Amino acid sequence: MVVSFIGMKSQELAIKPNLNISLKPDTETLDEVIVVAYGTAKKSSFTGSASSIKADKLEARVVSNVTNALSGQVAGVQSMSTNGQPGKSAKIRIRGIGSMSSSNDPLYVVDGVPYDGDIASINPADIENMTVLKDAAANAIYGARGANGVILITTKSGQQGEAKITVDAKWGSNKRAVPNYDVMTSPAQYYETMYRALYNAKAYNGSTAEEAHAYANKNLLDTNNGGLGYQVYTVPNGQNLIGTDFKLNPNATLGYSDGEYYYTPDNWYDEIFGKGNLRQEYNITVSGKTDKLSYFASAGYLDDSGIIDNSSFTRYTGRGKVDYQAKSWLKVGTNIAYTYQNMHSPESQDNWGSSGNLFYVTNLIAPIYPMYVRNPDGTLAVNSSTGNLVYDNGSTSTNSKRAFMNMARPAGNIAMDRYNTYTDAISGKWYAIITPLEGLSLTANIAANVSNDRTNNLYSRWGGSNTTSDGSTYVKHERDYGINTQYLASYIHTFAEKHNIDLLVGYELYKYKNQLLSGTNDHLYDPFIGELNNAGGTSNKKAESYTDNYMTEGILSRVQYNYDGKYFLSASYRRDASSRFSKDNRWGNFGSIGGAWLMTQENFMKGLKWIDMLKAKVSWGVQGNDHLLMTLGGVSYNNWYAYQDQFKVTYSEDTKQYSLVNLYKGNKDLTWETSYAFNAGIDFELFGSRLNGTIEYFSRKTVDLLYNQPVPLSSGISIGSIPQNVGSIMNKGIEIDLNGVIIRNKNFEWDMNFNLTHYSNKITDLADNVKETGIKGSSYIYEIGGSLYESYLKSYAGVDKTTGSALYYIDPDNGDYETTDDWSKAQLAHQGNTLPKVYGGLGTSLSAYGFDFSIQMAYQLGGRIYDGTYQAIMHTGFSSMAGTNWSKDILKAWTPENPNTDVPRLCASDNSYQLDSNRFLTSSDYLSLNNITLGYTLPKKWMRAMQISNLRLYVTADNLAVLSARKGLDPRMSLGTGSSTTSGNYTYSPMRTIAGGLTVTF
Question: Mean pLDDT throughout 549-578?
Answer: 95
Helix (H, G, I), strand (E, B) or coil at 241: coil
Name the phi and psi angles at 771, rounded to 5.
-60, -40
For residues 729 and 741, give the distance between their C-alpha atoms in angstroms, rounded to a whole number.
Answer: 40
User: How many Cα atoms occupy the beta-carbon half-sphere of 438 within 13 Å?
Assistant: 2
Helix (H, G, I), strand (E, B) or coil at 32: coil
Q: Of 26, 7, 52, which Cα lies nearest the Cα of 694?
A: 52
Helix (H, G, I), strand (E, B) or coil at 869: helix
**Predicted pLDDT of residue 598:** 95
pLDDT at 471 > cutoff 60: yes
**Predicted pLDDT of residue 462:** 77
Each residue of 903-955: pLDDT tens digit?
Answer: 999 999 988 888 999 999 999 999 999 999 999 999 988 888 788 999 999 99
Question: Predicted confidence band at 468 (pLDDT cuts at 50, 70, 90)?
Answer: low
Question: Predicted confidence band at 12 (pLDDT cuts at 50, 70, 90)?
Answer: low
Helix (H, G, I), strand (E, B) or coil at 518: strand
Query: Given the DSSP bridges, would you call strands 150-155 and 107-110 parallel, antiparallel or unpaired?
Result: parallel
Percent of the chain scored above 90 by pLDDT?
65
Percent of the chain scored above 70 by pLDDT?
94
**Predicted pLDDT of residue 27:** 42
Query: Given the DSSP bridges, would you call strands 91-94 and 113-114 parallel, antiparallel or unpaired?
Result: unpaired
Contacts (Cβ under 8 Å, ≥6 apart) of 717: 662, 663, 664, 665, 711
Each residue of 252-301: pLDDT tens digit?
Answer: 999 999 999 999 999 988 888 877 789 999 999 999 999 999 999 999 99
Q: Is the pLDDT higher at 541 or at 733? A: 733
Classify the C-alpha dihedral 674-591-695-78 as positive or negative. positive
Question: Mean pLDDT throughout 153-169?
Answer: 92
Q: Of 560, 545, 427, 536, which Cα lies nearest the Cα of 477?
A: 545
Torsion of CA 352, 356, 360, 361, to 10 degrees: 140
Per DSSP, the residues of 302-318 read EEE--SSTT-EEEEEEE
Question: Mean pLDDT throughout 474-495?
Answer: 95
For residues 535 and 542, give the distance between their C-alpha atoms in angstroms, rounded to a whole number.
Answer: 12
For residues 361 and 272, give the distance between their C-alpha atoms in angstroms, rounded to a whole number.
Answer: 11
For residues 243 and 239, give the distance between their C-alpha atoms in angstroms, rounded to a whole number.
Answer: 9
Mean pLDDT of the chain: 90
**Under 8 Å between Cβ of 677 and 702:** no
pLDDT at 6 > cutoff 80: no
Question: Predicted confidence band at 527 (pLDDT cuts at 50, 70, 90)?
Answer: confident
Residue type, 316: Y
Angle CA 520–523–528, to nearest 5? 90
**Under 8 Å between Cβ of 199 and 219:** no
Angle CA 361–366–368, to nearest 5? 125
For residues 840 and 82, give the distance between their C-alpha atoms in angstroms, rounded to a whole number.
Answer: 18
Lowest mean pLDDT among 634-648, 816-830, 867-881: 634-648
Question: Predicted confidence band at 28 (pLDDT cuts at 50, 70, 90)?
Answer: very low
In eight-state DSSP terms, residue 235 is -
Per DSSP, the residues of 667-718 read -TT---EEEEEEEEEEEEEETTTTEEEEEEEEEEEEES-EEEEE--GGG--T
- Summarize the chain as % helix, strand, coil (round to 5): 15, 50, 40
**Predicted pLDDT of residue 491:** 96
Q: Is the pLDDT higher at 417 or at 811? A: 811
pLDDT at 393 > cutoff 80: yes
In eight-state DSSP terms, residue 228 is -
Contacts (Cβ under 8 Å, ≥6 apart) of 894: 799, 801, 804, 901, 903, 904, 905
For residues 192 and 241, give the distance between their C-alpha atoms in angstroms, rounded to a whole number.
Answer: 9
For residues 768 and 799, give the distance between their C-alpha atoms in angstroms, rounded to a whole number.
Answer: 41
**Under 8 Å between Cβ of 389 and 375:** no
Q: Of 63, 317, 340, 73, which Cα lies nearest the Cα of 174?
A: 63
**Predicted pLDDT of residue 602:** 92
Helix (H, G, I), strand (E, B) or coil at 408: coil
Count, residues in the chain = 1002
For residues 106 and 109, give the distance between their C-alpha atoms in angstroms, rounded to a whole number.
Answer: 10
For residues 22 and 746, give the distance between their C-alpha atoms in angstroms, rounded to a whole number.
Answer: 10
Residue 815, burial from CB neighbour count under 10 angstroms (0-12, 13-18, 19+) = exposed
Lowest mean pLDDT among 33-47, 583-597, 845-859: 33-47
Name the phi and psi angles at 843, rounded to 5.
-165, 170
**Predicted pLDDT of residue 29:** 35
Question: Predicted confidence band at 186 (pLDDT cuts at 50, 70, 90)?
Answer: very high
Q: Of 830, 808, 804, which Cα lies nearest the Cα of 817?
A: 808
Query: Treating both helix axes as pointing N-terminal to C-terminal, what angle do 209-219 and 187-203 enclose, rounded to 10 degrees?
Result: 130
**Predicted pLDDT of residue 978:** 59
In eight-state DSSP terms, residue 884 is B
For residues 552 and 910, give the distance between their C-alpha atoms in angstroms, rounded to a whole number.
Answer: 56
Question: Mean pLDDT throughout 66-77?
Answer: 91
Read off the pTM: 0.90
Mapped to the 3 state alphabet, what secondary structure does 274-289 carry? Answer: CCCEEEEEEEEEEEEE
Per DSSP, the residues of 787-844 read -TTEEEEPPEEEE-TTT--EEEEEEGGGTEEEEES-GGGSPPEEEEE-S-SEEEEEEE
Contacts (Cβ under 8 Å, ≥6 apart) of 948: 1000, 1001, 1002
Residue 87, burial from CB neighbour count under 10 angstroms (0-12, 13-18, 19+) = buried
Question: Predicted confidence band at 663 (pLDDT cuts at 50, 70, 90)?
Answer: confident
For residues 638 and 529, give the distance between their C-alpha atoms in angstroms, rounded to a whole number.
Answer: 33
**Under 8 Å between Cβ of 873 and 903:** no
Classify the C-alpha dihedral 145-149-152-153 as positive or negative. negative
For residues 67 and 57, give the distance between their C-alpha atoms in angstroms, rounded to a whole number.
Answer: 13
Give bridge partners of residue 253 from the DSSP assignment. 234
For residues 172 and 164, give the distance between their C-alpha atoms in angstroms, rounded to a whole number.
Answer: 27
In eight-state DSSP terms, residue 398 is S
Q: Of 182, 79, 49, which Cα lies nearest the Cα of 859?
A: 79
Contacts (Cβ under 8 Å, ≥6 apart) of 223: 229, 401, 402, 403, 406, 882
Contacts (Cβ under 8 Å, ≥6 apart) of 904: 799, 804, 805, 806, 876, 893, 894, 913
